[in-house]
Amino acid sequence: MKPVITLRTATIADLAVLQHWDQQPHVIESDLDGNWDWETELLYEPAWRVQLMAELDGRPLGFVQIIDPAQEETHYWGDVPQGLRAIDVWIGEAADLGKGYGTTMMQQAINQCFDNESVTAILIDPLATNTRAHRFYEQKLLGEDESDCFIFRLSREDWHAKP
């Protein structure tokens, strides 16, 4: 049977799993900063962010964060217009990589963003060194080669035009 992947709100009950994933080499490599301060952040629910656990047939699979970059408190994305969302994503266990799960997680997260009619585009900024993630966004989500680019921008029109 096809595995079922779902996204649900992350809670403090996910703390140990998220901290365990933080120790995995593929997660560390993809996020040099790496200090997500889960004890605090899982209890904090600002209007500009959702933190989601992906589950595969009911077991923890990965994490997705969606923020509104115009409202986000540290202004990480600078002076950006309204109507955008930015996504962070990772799969927790190395054994789950490269099986199509990340594509499904991202499709669900992107659809969730565009369900809000005011959202016009989605931003993703993998590390420049994370060439596998670049390929993932190009091939699985954008359907084009933008390999000289380290910020990926997916517009509502392009997403809905995909076959």
Ligand X SMILES: CC(C)(COP(=O)(O)OP(=O)(O)OC[C@H]1O[C@@H](n2cnc3c(N)ncnc32)[C@H](O)[C@@H]1OP(=O)(O)O)[C@@H](O)C(=O)NCCC(=O)NCCS
Which residues would be at the binding site for ligand X (CB under 6 A)? Answer: 26-27, 30, 89-91, 97-103, 124, 126, 130, 132-133, 135-136, 139-140
> What's the closest the beta carbon of residue 118 comes to ligand X, in angstroms?
24
Of 67 and 91, which has the nearer Cβ to ligand X? 91
Contact 141, 104 (CB under 8 A): no
CB count within 10 Å of CB 18 equals: 20
Comparing CB distances to ligand X, the nearer of 133 and 142 is: 133
Contact status, residue 34 vs residue 55, Cβ threshold 8 Å: no
To ligand X, the closest distance from the beta carbon of 18 in angstroms equals 13
Cβ proximity to ligand X: between 62 and 119 the closer is 62
Residue 2 DSSP code:
P
- Please report, as a single letter, which amino acid is at residue 39: E
Q: How far apart are CA 96 and CA 120, in angstroms?
A: 31
**Nearest to ligand X of 33, 79 (CB atom):** 33
CB 87 within 8 A of CB 51: no
Closest distance to ligand X from the beta carbon of 3 (Å): 11
Shortest approach of ligand X to residue 117 CB, angstroms?
Answer: 26
